[in-house]
Structure 1
Amino acid sequence: MAPAKGRRTSLASLASAVGEHSPVDERTPRPAGPPTKAVLKDLVANPRNPRRDLGDLTDLASIKTHQLQPALVVTRAAYLALFPDDAEDVGAARWVVINGCRRLAAAAKYGCAELEFVVKDEVAHDRISLLTAAIDENIGRRDFDVLEEAEAVDRLVAECGTAGEAARRLNRTEGWVSQRRALLKLAPELQTALREGELAVRLARSLAQVPREDQVAAWQAAQERDSGKQDQPQDSAVPRRDPKTQPASAPHITKALRRFEPNPGVLAQALRDYLAPAQLAELADELITDRR
């Protein structure tokens, strides 16, 4: 029976579909010499993949007829040299997929006989390099759970020893790393709300600075304040600024920022998300210019 369109797929649910129990034909021959393709039973998804939920795979349904990008794998020996405790998860697979776990899952789901890949054992030079490669592929993807991202960054910090080194490996700022890790301090109720899209990430970062026992009450208070502002009648005697014809002034922006009480790292990340590179460069010049 064909899989339901739009259904999300987890790594756990695919454990019995990839490897020794792969539903595709295992008799497909591999080309001679260093392989660029393999039948699915010879491949296994990275046990250290930061993504537990692979999301909706329907965007990869075309993999049955053509694969746009090869997966990146390391050999079984290279992987187990770093993570010997994962031997049971790796099983009898010859290669471990580091980048391309969704492609591997889609190949199993849609009946693709083989998966194209490149072998790069240098990615398994050390544990930090392999974890960084796995995290870097997923950062910034819309369907990557923000808390899974935070957990992955936290594990990398533990492996590196410092947040600064983890930030350097990911080509991010130390503030960005700290912001992601702060989300792990949220109360369970707020983590659930964040995952379900009921709590905005920017507000979650602020709430993470509040003692855990007070976070839910702080969130409820913020919701009530927002609700009160929406219900407040407009004062017709006070002219409203038209954003199309009257750009916000510095006082307007300052007043808006005070609502969120951002720390410098949060503000910097927000500006990077909002401004184009050229605008960021212009802003940096303005900030360092002595205007006294």
Structure 2
Amino acid sequence: MARGTRTNLATLAGVVGDNSPVDRPAVGGTPTNVPLSELAPNPRNPRDELGDLSDLVSITGTQLQPALVVTRDAYLRLYPEDETKIGLARWVVINGCRRLAAAENFGRPNLDIVVKDEVAKDRETLLAAAVIENVGRRDFDVIEEAKAVELLINECGTVEKAAMKLAKSKGWISQRRALLQLTPELQKALRKGELAIRTARSLAQVPPEEQVEVWNTERERQRQGAESDSVPTDDSREPAERVPVTAAKVTRTFRRLDADPAILAEALFEYLDDDGLRALLAALTNRT
């Protein structure tokens, strides 16, 4: 699933699997319209902040998809200590907390919901549902994503179980967790878009006390390289000839890495832009 897309209830069916209670609305689960006063946002929402809600201003007229909720009793069976946080609400919103906040912010008095207590069968499933909704969203930055993944691992007990819940590879899980090893300064830079994810993953392997210095050195090297590229070249010099990249060379590199398909797919997703991914998909389709 491409970063920046929104996960809806139909998409969850393909993401989580046929046997998960997170994946699709209950049979006959027709959306019900209820007052906002009867809804409480999930106290265990993995997001630090709900972000800018301006993209949801249209909710005052149209709600494109219902919020996924569980009943008060189902939620409190898992988290009885949260009773004061949900107040007198009849339902707790698991997927759709931003829609709830937007409705409150822009003056919509009610919200369409689908009640599905199967999502609250255990803490792992409830947290997985909340994490899945947010992973890959443009407004869910990678540090929030990494923290959410870490929460799920702690709840599940193992990386393997968390990876299965999210339908992600262990490599993807490890890459996200590594970002939590960055110093606060670098995490802030990553969230602001000043630090690329690819660079951040490399810096996470450096001892914390050396990370900022290594990053500053790398930025200075890149700055000097950019300046040298902008200097006019001597017409008498022949431009450096670019070494062609062949399929054989790339194949040899893949063999040296000994990476599984999931890791290769993740690497290509990080490396290619949208046009590149479409071209890659077309090329693969033509060879099958």
Instruction: State TM-score, norm by structure 2.
Output: 0.76
Are residues 1:129 and 2:125 paired? yes
Secondary structure at the aligned position of 1:56 is classed as coil
Counterpart-to-counterpart distance in 2, 1:147 and 1:72: 25
Counterpart-to-counterpart distance in 2, 1:38 and 1:165: 35
What are the Cα deviations for residues 35-86 of structure 1, in whole angstroms up to 9, with x where unaligned? Answer: 8111111101111111121111111111112211100000011111111121
Matches for 1:179-194 after TM superposition, within 5 Å: 179-194=175-190
Indicate the larger mover: 109-118 or 82-91.
82-91
Matches for 1:192-271 after TM superposition, within 5 Å: 192-232=188-228, 233=231, 234=233, 237-239=237-239, 248-249=245-246, 264=259, 268-271=265-268
| Structure 1: 4+ residue segments shifted above 2 A | 233-242, 246-254, 262-268, 272-282
Secondary structure at the aligned position of 1:74 is classed as strand
The equivalent of 2:14 in structure 1 is none
Matches for 1:29-44 after TM superposition, within 5 Å: 36-44=32-40
Are residues 1:72 and 2:68 paired? yes
Report how far residue 270 of structure 1 moved.
2.1
Report how far residue 145 of structure 1 moved.
1.9
Secondary structure at the aligned position of 2:179 is classed as helix
Secondary structure at the aligned position of 1:154 is classed as helix
Counterpart-to-counterpart distance in 1, 2:41 and 2:102: 12
Structure 1 portions without partners, runs of 5+: 1-33, 286-292
**Cα–Cα, structure 1 residues 84 and 180, in superposed 2: closer, same or farther, change >3 Å?**
same
The equivalent of 2:20 in structure 1 is none
What are the Cα deviations for residues 173-203 of structure 1, in whole angstroms up to 9, with x where unaligned? Answer: 0010011111111011101111111111111
The equivalent of 2:51 in structure 1 is 55
The equivalent of 2:41 in structure 1 is 45
Identity over aligned pairs, percent: 55
Counterpart-to-counterpart distance in 2, 1:55 and 1:67: 19
Report how far residue 239 of structure 1 moved.
2.6
Q: Check conservation: 1:186, 1:215, Cα contact below 8 A.
A: yes
The equivalent of 2:17 in structure 1 is none
Q: Check conservation: 2:70, 2:117, Cα contact below 8 A.
A: yes
Report how far residue 93 of structure 1 moved.
0.7
Q: Check conservation: 2:40, 2:93, Cα contact below 8 A.
A: yes
CA RMSD of aligned residues (A): 3.1
Secondary structure at the aligned position of 1:210 is classed as coil
Report how far residue 268 of structure 1 moved.
4.5
**Cα–Cα, structure 1 residues 241 and 266, in superposed 2: closer, same or farther, change >3 Å?**
farther
Report how far residue 279 of structure 1 moved.
6.3
Instruction: State TM-score, norm by structure 1.
Output: 0.75
Structure 2 portions without partners, runs of 5+: 1-29
**Cα–Cα, structure 1 residues 241 and 81, in superposed 2: closer, same or farther, change >3 Å?**
farther
Greater relative contact order, per chain length (Cα 8 Å cut-off, separation 6+): 2
